[in-house]
Structure 1
Amino acid sequence: MTSRRILALSTMLGGLAIAPQLHAATPTPAQATAPRPNAPAPSHRAAGTTGAGKAAAAGTPAPANEAISVFGHGSTRQMTSVTRTMMQQSVPGTSPLKVLSQLPGVLYQSADPFGAYEYSSQLFMRGFNQSQLGFTLDDIPLGDQQFNNYNGLSVTRSIISDDVGGVDVSQGAGAIDVASTSNLGGAIQIRSIDPSHVRGGTVAQTFGSNSTMRTYARFESGDLNPTGTRFYVAYARLNGNLWKGGGYDHSDQVNAKLVQPLARGSSLKLFFDWSSIQQFDYQDMTKNWLNTVGPNLANYYPNYTAAYNAALGTYPAELQKTNDPFDAAYYAGTANRTDYLGGLTLDENLSETLNWKTTLYGHANNGYSTWTTPYMPSPNGAPLSQRIQTPNVARGGLQSAVTWKIARHAVNAGVWYEYGNFNEGRYFSEAPLLGQGTLGNPTTGFPADKVFATAWQEAFSTRTFVFHLQDTYKVTDNLTINAGFKSMIVNSGNSVPTQDGTINGTRLAQGHLEASNAFLPQVSANWRFLPHNELFFDVSHNMRSFPLDGYGTNVSATPWTASQASFQATRNTLKPETDWVYEGGYRYTSPLISALASLYRVNFSNRLQLITSQAGINPVTAVQNVGGVTTNGAEASVTLRPVRGLSIYNSFSYAHSTYDQNVMTATGLQPTRGKLVPNYPQFMYKGNISYAIGNFDAHVDGTYLSRRELTYTNDLRVPGYFLMNFGMRYHFGQVGPFRGLTASFNVYNLTNKTYIATTNELGNNFVNTDFNYFLMGAPRQFFGTVSADF
């Protein structure tokens, strides 16, 4: 399927919508109507047993003053739900993934306060990074969320945050029917809101630090006819400067959703998303640069003269203090992306006991990233040039599943097929001589007329087929067992139509790899042994397909990042990553207390690790099987609601994740056995206090992370930190022509803590070198929002 055909399919579909839960033919109040600011928060059903068996689990409404999370009452695995009401505590435009950072075992890092800067976006859950988790939007697969996403779309670009109805998080293992080929760990399933039955809309304007301005508007058609046909169209625009240095973050986004109710509680839903982003990069940091220059080290943009002189070896005084002034700053780096995502879901109740659900979806992406490099001079004599990379995605797929309720069983079987193309190229364009112009703003378009070299072009194609079968058996009114398996085949390969050996220094990897397993089982159970009290356990076997990316891109542990010789030497022995996940826990749910405690163990096999050495700008990169990893962990969460309007949430998590053996490299045996896996803290604490009285509500939240290792041998680390945020809102009720008017104020990083946010964005080293990179977190930021419903 060509890129144009998939783009046409995506556009014709108008936007892909995935129905709510498999058995839920009628939307919940939260999905059906966006709550008005002066209305009480709607109830939200807690997460169910599995995607197919959620109806079998008894849901418990979340109180209106819930602080942060709803624990998955009745679920056979550890589930946590973040509701729409909870997400509204954050500044509009904040990534849903950033909101998840309040959950136990979840770590989210970003260099910007919104979590919108994709290069720095980093999510870990129980030690697994985001490329080893599963992500869906209304059942549409969003891939593995890596920066150069080859099989999906980032959460922030797939849906406007204001249109998110809620997020269901499975920290241990995702349900069997989650459409993902990467979820070694848990799964994150995002739900969009449904259009309101009442005609109207919402407009909101946000102002804040760094000249931030964000505008949001949504129009609701209301019911157009007696059958309940309805739709909404929403638009969001964000403009803001970087918190340090020159450059900005800009995005435009459109969402649309149509719902057509059908007979017997069935529905037909369409969802469409268009997004366009232009983002400037924050400069990567090292310990030396942090200690010599400080946390505000930034690139030269828009000072072309300074970047030009630095490429010639003349540096600003502050950079001369560093151990590598040549790499401590560049002119600029940028990311530019345009995406179309659409889907059509038919959720058909054929009878009271038989449901058939089918989703068609398509996604097309085009864009480019730039980096002004002093390592490649221009033909005109300029000492630098602009390196451009062009990742493009075109994919389409189908999911179809049938659920049959018979006696105490809910049998669910389904298939998922996807075909995707991922094309990427690396080019170099000419920079002007000093005094004859500047590179200007690199986000204004691909400089095709100035390209003087093509390092490589690669074309990947992937076919994915997954079958699943499961049974949710309600043994008694208090005991539920879910058991099933999935079969997976993912075949990927590439061709290299263009490569320049004088630039690359080697022949690029080319060939096919298949990741397949016919039997990936999962068994889980829930026992409600007393009112409000339940025990659960889950055991699952999971596999991750081989990730894709271009040569030497340092984004993921892909076999294709290496040379042809390295690829050939390992292709017959390289195995896809697999694991066994075991978890068990206790859950207590009552109007006053929601509590959760769990223990888990992960036996991770064939872990592929991106091994880098030398500078992150021109690294030696290889992917290596580093063997097994064992993780043992514990999590506990509790939400107290002692009086009306007050909610107090606390969570604690501990994870001990270590390598099972040493690793042999070209430089010798690396002592990694027993060493902690980098980038993920052993201990985390999260807290949130929320209070509502009348039309006013306020909250304060805090997060503590222990230290994180930067190297595989644990000889370099970044310190832990405690971060606080504050927010408050007031609902004015009806004001003039508006049905509701709301004003809110938020402060991120309340104590103005200087801290290291993202780590390993360029890969980890085995030992402490001068090239261990990270990104700083944003200082204290202020934001105010006024929104109105009409």
Structure 2
Amino acid sequence: MKFVPFFARNQSNRRGRGAWCLLLSTALTGLSAAHAADPTPAAKPRATQHTAQPAPRRAAPAARPVQPASPPQPESIVVFGQGSTRQMTSVTTSMMRQSVPGTSPLKVLDQLPGVLYQSADPFGAYEYSSQVFMRGFSQNQLGFTLDDIPLGDQQFNNYNGLTITRALTSDNIAGVDVSQGAGGIDVASSSNLGGAIQFHSIDPSHTRGGTVEQTFGSNATFRTFVRLNSGDLNPTGTRFFVSYARTDMNLWKGQGYDYSDQVNAKLVQPLARDSSLKVFFDWSSTQQFDYQDMTPNYLRTIGPGLANYYPDYTAAYRAAQGIYPAQYTKSNDPFDAAYYAGTANRVDYLGGVTLDENFNSHLNWKTTVYGHGDSGYSTWSTPYMHSPNRAPLSQRVQNPGITRAGFLSAVTYTVARNTINAGVWYEYDQFTENRAFAEAPLLGTGTLGNPTGGYPGNVFAAPWQEVFNTNTFAFHLQDTYHVTHNLTLNAGFKSMIVSAGNHVPGQVPALNGGNLIAQGSLTASNAFLPQLSANWRFLPHHELFFDVSHNMRSYPEDGYGTNVSATPWTANQTAFQASKASLRPETDWVYEGGYRYTSPLVSGLVSLYRINFSNRLQLISSNAGINPITAVQNVGGVTTNGAEVSATVRPVDGLSIYNSFSYAHSTYDQNVMTATGLEPTRGKLVPNYPTFMYKGSIAYTIRNFNVHVDGNYISSRQLTYTNDLHVPGYFLANFGMRYNFGDVRFLKGVTASFNIYNLANKTYVATTNELGNNFTDTGYNYFLLGAPRQFFGSVSANF
């Protein structure tokens, strides 16, 4: 891959695979040459008639077995939220099939207007690099739910949830509803200053059977998915599914891998009056090796292939002694350029029970009770801490853990032209984290081996341990009033209080720079967070909408000096006490208005928005990213003005053309005073989010064959708060095709697909800000590169 320097200053051990997997892949590969039909029944698009809360459902006819589906019809990448009082966009199952199986659904959302998703790997599976922005808001300022269960803020080292890739296998997603402007006030999130992303899992099929799927590809990718459906077990329609997914792939540069196992299960018990009881369960286990963080200097001097030394322990040992590969000596800091390895290991259990009860055609009561447990550890082989045996490096270990439980309960009552909805959400969350150092062997006496193989032994130091306890309570009340058949108003408010605090069972100040760790409690609360929205269908196919909302985000949590999020607890006790009295939770006002046009030929959307953001907390970093000087500071207000235009055209049967353009101008309202002086941030662009984006897709279906090409243009992104360093824009194109071969004996819908990621083999910067932004170009401005061209093929079938 040819590399062209492109940074500019502004003015200036493979896991063993079971024999059953090999037999399965052989069988499916052979079947791909046969003739079969669509791999799964065609997904029915999710309803696009969105208001703040749907009216209770009337009783439906008795459940009956699902008939075999015809081949899927062509579908555009998005379904615009016709009838919604806010900007809503839906992504359906058939749209997600255009991506490689196992791709993070957040990566699929990158095609939506105003949404930016970045990851260092083509699947979006590498969590440390996973980064989603929506209208300038980062993922820890958005709301995420799965079947109403809160998933927290999706950041790496999540303290109150888990990523969607660990919560639900992508093959089991029924659809995703995205509110780009402001999430509904009934969304269970304490972080959604901006929009909300709500995932929905599929229900078990009424017919007995299953699905098998095998994916192969670049970097020795090997992914297996199996889902078994019980079908209706009795006349009432009791049914369930169980699925298993295994993903195994190498890093695209350096050594190491990304490996995961995941089990999903869901049971549905239909009740009278179209009511239901649903039970969901998820278990996942993930082991991931890190890509090495890059800087502009490393990219220019060492090149895009820079990677950690694993499994070469000798090279890492010598680098810790100051003996580097020749190319590394050309950089400004060869000591910080690479390490033996960094890894993340996580195990999650997530479960929920939902009772959706229709008492009559006017009154509905829906309650969800859920629980979540997370455990794991992350490792980093550091030359900054020597081992007691005088080895020049050691292994740093961090242990995050989550135990949380909660419930949501809401009543919806329809009377005359009003749909009144009121509900509560409560969650208790205990987040624990500690840091330790384990001894590394002397050269010639052993190696550090595979850090994902088990918790490191020979721990010789434990700098700190923290325990956070958080109580979250929210109440919402809203009314959707149908003024006329074509005019709808929605008004409501949310009250929220989040009380969080930590205690430190153990710490060694000498190992923490002589500092005492921040310890104390903070409360974010607001009794009245209003939202007002409307939709007016003034002509057939034509509608206008607007929305105004006031939002608040609770204080994020993380351990001392972790440098992952802008949490007040990352500082020492002195800094925490000094800033505690002046800290305020982040709040904003979001204003948006727009126009929709919906017809069989064209679906179009134009949206304008303004965001007034107050008390923005920012993680301020300086020095090297591995040993930074970090502070969390209120950088004041941010003003964002933006516009989005999207259109899907279906000129002939089978052809769909989608285009969207986004503009966002997000700037700081004032300069920032720091310990070193005044930083000129007023009027400067907020880092990491582009001003312009273009998304396009062309899909064509003829009989059983589908082909599509999509492309994204991302304009330049600032790396510093004063905008003296940026990464350039880029255009990325992807290609995919699918073919349904027909039925073969007991197998139905044998389908083969082929995808190419990064079609032009572009070298580009993906993730930025993973270690915090600096005010100016210090030489330590970190980012991760995106993957080069990748090839993937899949074969699937139903039975």
C-alpha distance in 1 between matches for 2:288 and 2:716: 29
Deviations 1:535-556 (A, max 9, x none): 0000000000000000010110
Quick check: 1:628 aligned with 2:630?
Answer: no
C-alpha distance in 2 between matches for 1:400 and 1:243: 45
SS in 2 for 1:278: strand
On the 8 A contact 1:364/1:394 being kept in 2, the answer is yes
C-alpha distance in 2 between matches for 1:38 and 1:697: 15
Match of 2:226 in 1: 217
Q: CA deviation at 1:51?
A: 4.0
Quick check: 1:482 aligned with 2:490?
Answer: yes
Q: CA deviation at 1:573?
A: 1.3
Match of 1:181 in 2: 190
- Could you tell me which of 352, 366, 369 is aligned with 1:343? 352
On the 8 A contact 1:38/1:695 being kept in 2, the answer is no
C-alpha distance in 1 between matches for 2:507 and 2:722: 36
Quick check: 1:466 aligned with 2:468?
Answer: no
Match of 1:28 in 2: none
Q: CA deviation at 1:39?
A: 5.0
| Shift >3 Å, 4+ stretches | 38-41, 51-56
Matches within 5 A, 1:91-170: 91-170=100-179
Deviations 1:435-478 (A, max 9, x none): 0000000001112x310000100000000000000000000000
Q: CA deviation at 1:46?
A: 1.1
On the 8 A contact 2:56/2:361 being kept in 1, the answer is no
C-alpha distance in 2 between matches for 1:256 and 1:368: 26
Deviations 1:195-222 (A, max 9, x none): 0001000000000000000000000000
Aligned partner of 1:462: which letter? T
C-alpha distance in 2 between matches for 1:77 and 1:564: 43
Quick check: 1:231 aligned with 2:233?
Answer: no
Q: CA deviation at 1:610?
A: 0.4
Q: CA deviation at 1:659?
A: 0.0
- Could you tell me which of 699, 722, 738 is aligned with 1:713? 722
Match of 1:328 in 2: 337
Q: CA deviation at 1:50?
A: 1.9
On the 8 A contact 1:38/1:732 being kept in 2, the answer is no
- Could you tell me which of 455, 459, 477 is aligned with 2:463? 455
Match of 1:46 in 2: 48
Under a length normalisation based on structure 2, what TM-score does the superposition of the two structures give? 0.93
On the 8 A contact 1:47/1:54 being kept in 2, the answer is no
Deviations 1:138-165 (A, max 9, x none): 1000000110100011010000000000
C-alpha distance in 2 between matches for 1:691 and 1:222: 33
Aligned partner of 1:497: which letter? P
On the 8 A contact 1:348/1:356 being kept in 2, the answer is yes
Deviations 1:232-282 (A, max 9, x none): 000000001000001000000000000000000000000000000000000
Match of 1:686 in 2: 695
- Pick which of 565-574 and 536-545 moved more: 565-574
SS in 2 for 1:581: strand
Q: How many pairs align?
A: 749
Does the C-alpha gap of structure 1 residues 646 and 780 become closer, same or farther in structure 2, counting only changes over 3 Å? Answer: same
Does the C-alpha gap of structure 1 residues 630 and 105 become closer, same or farther in structure 2, counting only changes over 3 Å? Answer: same
Deviations 1:374-403 (A, max 9, x none): 000000010000000000000000100000
Does the C-alpha gap of structure 1 residues 107 and 53 become closer, same or farther in structure 2, counting only changes over 3 Å? Answer: farther
Aligned partner of 2:506: which letter? T
Deviations 1:393-419 (A, max 9, x none): 000001000000000000000000000
On the 8 A contact 2:53/2:480 being kept in 1, the answer is no
SS in 2 for 1:686: strand
Match of 1:493 in 2: 501
Match of 2:742 in 1: 733
Aligned partner of 2:460: which letter? F
SS in 1 for 2:739: strand
Unpaired stretches in structure 2, ≥5 consecutive residues: 1-36, 59-71
Match of 1:37 in 2: 39
On the 8 A contact 2:762/2:788 being kept in 1, the answer is yes
Quick check: 1:258 aligned with 2:267?
Answer: yes
SS in 2 for 1:289: helix
C-alpha distance in 1 between matches for 2:49 and 2:308: 45
C-alpha distance in 2 between matches for 1:90 and 1:78: 24
Match of 2:80 in 1: 71
Under a length normalisation based on structure 1, what TM-score does the superposition of the two structures give? 0.94
Q: CA deviation at 1:353?
A: 0.3
Quick check: 1:433 aligned with 2:435?
Answer: no
C-alpha distance in 1 between matches for 2:777 and 2:749: 56
On the 8 A contact 2:269/2:276 being kept in 1, the answer is yes
SS in 2 for 1:751: coil
Matches within 5 A, 1:336-375: 336-375=345-384
Matches within 5 A, 1:276-291: 276-291=285-300
SS in 1 for 2:530: strand
Matches within 5 A, 1:555-574: 555-574=564-583
C-alpha distance in 2 between matches for 1:377 and 1:566: 28
On the 8 A contact 1:48/1:55 being kept in 2, the answer is no
On the 8 A contact 2:707/2:738 being kept in 1, the answer is yes
Deviations 1:700-754 (A, max 9, x none): 0000000000000000000000000000000112112201200000000000000
Greater RCO between the two (CA within 8 Å, min separation 6)?
2
C-alpha distance in 2 between matches for 1:559 and 1:47: 41
Q: CA deviation at 1:38?
A: 6.8
Match of 1:203 in 2: 212
SS in 2 for 1:733: coil
Matches within 5 A, 1:551-590: 551-590=560-599
Q: CA deviation at 1:44?
A: 3.0
SS in 1 for 2:645: strand
On the 8 A contact 1:47/1:79 being kept in 2, the answer is no
Q: CA deviation at 1:55?
A: 7.8
* Aligned residues: CA RMSD: 1.1
Deviations 1:764-789 (A, max 9, x none): 00001111000000000000000010
Does the C-alpha gap of structure 1 residues 628 and 666 become closer, same or farther in structure 2, counting only changes over 3 Å? Answer: same
C-alpha distance in 2 between matches for 1:471 and 1:39: 37
Does the C-alpha gap of structure 1 residues 113 and 620 become closer, same or farther in structure 2, counting only changes over 3 Å? Answer: same
C-alpha distance in 1 between matches for 2:597 and 2:56: 19
Match of 1:606 in 2: 615
Q: CA deviation at 1:189?
A: 0.2
Q: CA deviation at 1:625?
A: 0.4
Deviations 1:645-702 (A, max 9, x none): 1000000000000000000011100000000000000000000000000000010000
On the 8 A contact 1:98/1:115 being kept in 2, the answer is yes
Q: Percent identity?
A: 75
On the 8 A contact 2:40/2:797 being kept in 1, the answer is no
SS in 1 for 2:437: strand
Deviations 1:612-664 (A, max 9, x none): 11111011111100000000000010000011110000000000000000000
On the 8 A contact 2:688/2:719 being kept in 1, the answer is yes
Matches within 5 A, 1:626-705: 626-705=635-714
C-alpha distance in 1 between matches for 2:556 and 2:712: 32
On the 8 A contact 2:252/2:787 being kept in 1, the answer is yes
Aligned partner of 2:586: which letter? E
